[in-house]
A and B are shown apart, each in its own frame.
Chain A
Amino acid sequence: MPVMLRRGLQREDVQGYLFISPWLIGVVVFFIGPMVASLVLSLTDYSIIAPGLSFLGVENYREIALDPLFWKSLGVTAYYLALDVPLGQVGSLALALLIHRQIRFKSLFRTILYLPSVTPIVAAASIWLWFLQPRFGLMNGALGLFGIDGPAWLASREWAVPGLALVTLWGIGGARMIIYLAGLQGVPEELREAARIDGAGVWRVFTAVTLPHLTPTIFFNVIIDIIGSFQQFSVAYIATDGGPDNSTLFYVLYLYRNAFNYFRMGYASALAWIMLLLLLAFTLVQFRGARRWVYYGGA
């Protein structure tokens, strides 16, 4: 039995609870409460605008299973995730390695690389719309210099998702890079030094010493990145609004449309719960797999 229960609630216990009560109330009111409400709503036809609601049981979930746009949005999100996560991780790690070196103007480079990630997404997406314009855009202009006839990017079903991935990859110098930088600073310099004395080259030092020590950081970044990519919304909402032909209909964009364009709050709540379960399953699988490749020092 916990000590506190054995001896009864003391004055300082009450004070402690009082101190954390703003946080507790916040969690219950703004987090647990809405979650429970959305679970209940997912079993109804609640629409905000129509008076009353009817209990539907699992009807919304059954409709989702038969909804072609649900599967389409899931496919689009998976495709984006497959492009964005590996490229984003490799890119931000490469930048972190560059910045980690002892070079002049290191702080300046770090600031410049970080800048895109603090640019408002609306501004970034609007600029990239012009970069990726098929006829006059800088991207196809640059490709044209090498004799490559560039694609229609955001106006093409095949290239719209890679185009949006480019927009978000522009910000690889952001939080991911900073976390990698912090991870790199935790790699023991004496181990690298020892490897070099033993005759290991740059690549060998990286793969045999740096990378294993970075695996907890990689693991953290990958988990966060997968969740973030699955929740991608703003870029598609601003740049393509899901088009052309739903080729950029991300899962969260479809959820948003159901909730706030079609006012199908019950259906959108069911979509949200499916997303939560998918992410939970994905994350658990990764934690299971992590035992094989993540190295936590002497553990």
Chain B
Amino acid sequence: MLRNRIGLVALAALVWCGLVPALAAAEKVVFWYRIGAAEFEWIRDELKPRFEAEFPDHELEVVHLSSSRAEADQKILIAVATNQHVDVVRTNPEINLTQYARQGTIVPIDEYAAVSGLDTENYYAAAIDMLTVDGKLYGLPYTALPRPVLWYNDKFFAGSGVAAPSADWTTDDWAAAARNLRVDSDGDGNPEVFGTGYSMSDVEVEMILNGFGGGFLSRDGTESLAGTPESLAGAQFIYDLIYKDNSAPTGDQMEGSLHEMFGSGRVAMNIGNYWNRNFYKAQMGEDDEFKMAPLPAGPLGRFQQYVAGCLSILKSTRSPQAAFEWIKYFTSEEINREYVEKGFNIGTRPAVNQDPQFGDDPFVQQFLPIYEVRPYNLPVWPENLRRPQYVELVRNAIERMYVLGEQPADVLPDLDRDITRLLRQRSL
């Protein structure tokens, strides 16, 4: 009898010990983030404690994924396949959001947004549109902006007689300025200052090709445009900057990346993005030396791609409600203002970007007119395209033309053939 009683008491104690912590434990939100170290540290050291103080029943675990997009994608997809506990991930509508949504890798958030009374009108409408797939909202944006821009170092223009880049610049103006800014004082063919850099990014090169009426992939994503005369003209324009005028460095003349060469004053202009500002600032030190202008327009106009960084709830979430709370908190006006203030990127709400608080910030002020330059090029990724393989093909072609110096007329037919072959293959 006594034995039974002791047993019962012990059992009750065990149940109590197990249940109480389980009931009291905060709901854990696992957040996987792919971005630079400074941004990650800000989230881990400043936002996490504030979020946990505001939501005492939530515990945030922040995990820094690789800065490589391909590696981050790899980890996210494997997490879903193995049902690993991950609640929130960063997604990009121009890259993976549509694919993730249609695969069921991320879940719609409309239900949580409606319950919490979230007003999506406070965000840029275009950004919200980009996150809406088949009528459902798949995340909230914390940054949304057009890319790329033309960065320039003001000290090379001052006193040179060359007008600084402006919103009405064309590719001809860009090439002429690059030739005039090139400095090769000893005439050894290895300039001390190059007039311009260029881009090795598949997206950014395509924006330039779009300005010439070409591209790599048709707008509906069903055929390759790489072999068209318009694409050749656009690719040849960049090639000539490098190998005809030598106003941009050849592969052999590269010293580090083009961003490093621009930051160290070896290149007067460079194709880049808003988010390069902190890197340049760290290299140059003086804010007023480098500025930005819209990407110069090609013969057929100017094209810029609208991109966004956003947070979505992963299928393998254990707590979608808590995950949504974190997304809502991170994309809130207050946090978004802080995000812009730290110079990480441009905000995602007009109320934030146009805040008088940023009246003195030369970068925000320079970027807002660029924000208004249209049209934006919203990418359409066909479902049958093996995207990572496509990107690999395009990057390889860009490397052949601009680093190895092969004529675009020799490279683009190969690329055209390879993309066409890829489009005919089975989808995954």
Contact = CB atoms under 8 A, between A and B. Distances in A.
A63 B78 CA distance: 25
Contact of A244 (B74, B81, B399): B399
Contacts of A243: 396, 399
Interface in B239-267: 251-252, 254-255
A155 B404 CA distance: 8
A261 B74 contact: yes
A264 interface: yes
Given A49-B105, A243-B399, A257 B392 contact: yes
Nearest to A243: B399
A262 interface: yes
A42 interface: no
Given A136-B255, A261-B70, A263-B77, A245 B426 contact: no
B160 interface: no
Contact of B404 (A48, A244, A260): A244
A50 B77 CA distance: 10
Interface in A250-289: 257, 260-264
A133 to B, nearest CB: 8
B219 to A, nearest CB: 24
B158 interface: no
Interface string B327-345: 0000000000000000000
Interface string A21-58: 00000000000000000000000010111100000000
Contacts of A262: 386, 388-389, 428
B403 interface: yes
- Majority SS at the chain B contact face: helix
Contacts of B77: 48-49, 263
B255 A45 contact: no
A155 B403 contact: yes
Interface string B68-85: 001000100110110000
Query: Number of contact residues on B: which range applies?
Result: 20 to 34
Interface in B369-392: 386, 388-389, 392
A246 interface: yes
Contact of B74 (A47, A245, A246, A260): A260
A244 B252 CA distance: 13
B396 A245 contact: yes
B357 interface: no
A88 interface: no
Interface in A177-231: none
Contacts of A50: 103, 428
Given A152-B252, A243-B399, A45 B74 contact: no
Nearest to A152: B252
B400 interface: yes
Interface of A: 45, 47-50, 134-136, 152, 155, 157, 243-246, 257, 260-264
The 4 tightest CB contacts between A and B, nearest first, are: A48-B81, A49-B77, A47-B428, A261-B388
Interface of B: 70, 74, 77-78, 80-81, 103, 105, 251-252, 254-255, 386, 388-389, 392, 396, 399-400, 403-404, 426, 428
22 contacts: A45-B426, A45-B428, A48-B77, A48-B78, A48-B81, A49-B80, A49-B81, A49-B103, A50-B428, A155-B251, A155-B403, A245-B396, A245-B399, A245-B400, A245-B404, A257-B392, A260-B74, A261-B70, A262-B388, A262-B389, A262-B428, A263-B428
